[in-house]
Amino acid sequence: MSLSKQRYIELIDSIGSTLQRARENAVKAINNELVEANWKIGQYIVEYEQDGKEKADYGTALLTNLAKDLKVKYGKGFSKSSIYLCRQFYIKYPIFQTVSGKLS
């Protein structure tokens, strides 16, 4: 194989490695942002509906309404169960540093 052909293959490999690392880093960053967003959603719900208590005094009407209204405003991904899971996530890990430490 000629030297120029070998250098070209190395160029392709270098570009490919850089792209692969960038894609992996992007996925990690997106996952971290989504985890933090879900935690914050849970925090907002607990603080609003429950005033810091583990269970609301008056049922889950807020979760049903949130699911409907968030789906209309922001699209899919806001079922009642997904919102419930965000709330449970916050209740289980009320300090986010605990979560982020476990992820890294």
Half-sphere exposure of 90 (CA within 13 A, CB side): 23
Rounded CA-CA distance 101/104 in Å is 5
* DSSP-assigned letter for residue 40: H
Question: What parts of the chain have a pLDDT lower than 50?
Answer: none
pTM: 0.77
What contacts 52, CB < 8 A, 6 or more positions away? 46
Domain that holds residue 91: 3-103
What contacts 10, CB < 8 A, 6 or more positions away? none
Question: What pLDDT is stored for residue 90 in this prediction?
Answer: 92
Rounded CA-CA distance 61/7 in Å is 65
